Structure 1
Amino acid sequence: MQQTPSSKINLLVIDDDDINIFIISKIVEKTGYDVEICAKHNGQLAIDYIKDLVDSQQALPQLVLIDINMPILNGWEFIEAFEALDLKATNDMYMLSSSVYENDIEKAKSYKSVKGFISKPLSIDRLKELLAAID
């Protein structure tokens, strides 16, 4: 079995679909990594959460998975708001979407904070790769 990191990895999932959040949590359990999941149902709630972490001088999540289509503040708007905070963040952000549009994949590449685009559903192997890159 693969070595797992010794410290807990903080994962922020930004998705308005409770089923997707549940599936991601089950996939996390199967990776063997010690992961604490925080889920926010839209980009505004996620920005508020990140601001609270910064204000209280807590560490930002090391991995962020962002859905595109959400109410209030969608995935793209979240990324723009996050980048406007101008944090010296060292987290890995990925768009996680059921979108199959090439322009969404290309748009994800245009943001400095976004490391890639992952098509839903998230696989155990792909999540293991993301978590191993953090270690």
Structure 2
Amino acid sequence: MMKLDIACMIDDDQMFTYLLSRQMKLIDFCETVLIFNNGEEALKYLRPIIESPETLPSVILLDINMPVLDGWQFLDEFTKFNIRKKITVYIVSSSIDQADHIKAGAYKQVSNFYVKPITKEHLISMLDEIKGK
């Protein structure tokens, strides 16, 4: 199985990010996990390094319901970036609302929508999809 260099989680649920980062470590998902509590924190980190593909994450796991700047607002800003590296974005949310799934599908940057909790099988599926690209 291929291991990613950098993965990014954007989620305000600290228990979820802690458990998922532990699960990532157990399956050797990536070298480094970046964790941001909201979309604004993530954008502040990404904007200055956008021209440095080696420091950008390969995958972003994005919650949609967060304070300050939610997942949709993050995606609206993220889609404006001129990124030279392929970054796979997965929505990771507790939302089962079909409207959220449809909205996520409208973003070409979003590869899939996963409903929490995220399992080891979900992570392996993500790796397989990224490896296939």
- Normalising by structure 2, we get a TM-score of 0.89
Say whether 1:111 aligns with 2:107: yes
Asked whether the 8 Å contact 2:91–2:113 carries over to 1, the reply is yes
**Equivalent residue for 1:19, pick from 15, 20, 28:** 15
The alignment of Structure 1 onto Structure 2 pairs a total of residues equal to: 131
Cα shift at 1:26: 1.6
Aligned to 2:65: 69
- Secondary structure of 1:84's counterpart equals coil
Q: Can you give the 5+ residue segments of structure 1 that lack an aligned partner in the other structure?
A: none
Asked whether the 8 Å contact 1:68–1:97 carries over to 2, the reply is yes
Aligned to 2:56: 60
Cα shift at 1:12: 0.2
Aligned to 1:28: 24
Q: Cα–Cα, structure 1 residues 102 and 57, in superposed 2: closer, same or farther, change >3 Å? A: closer
Aligned to 1:94: 90
Asked whether the 8 Å contact 1:93–1:114 carries over to 2, the reply is yes
Deviations 1:79-127 (A, max 9, x none): 0000012323401101100001000001000011111110000010110
Deviations 1:1-24 (A, max 9, x none): xxx33x642100000111010111
- Secondary structure of 1:130's counterpart equals helix
**Partner letter of residue 75 of structure 1?**
G
Q: Cα–Cα, structure 1 residues 95 and 34, in superposed 2: closer, same or farther, change >3 Å? A: closer
Q: Cα–Cα, structure 1 residues 85 and 59, in superposed 2: closer, same or farther, change >3 Å? A: same
Percent identity of equivalent pairs: 30
Q: Cα–Cα, structure 1 residues 71 and 91, in superposed 2: closer, same or farther, change >3 Å? A: same
Asked whether the 8 Å contact 2:53–2:84 carries over to 1, the reply is no
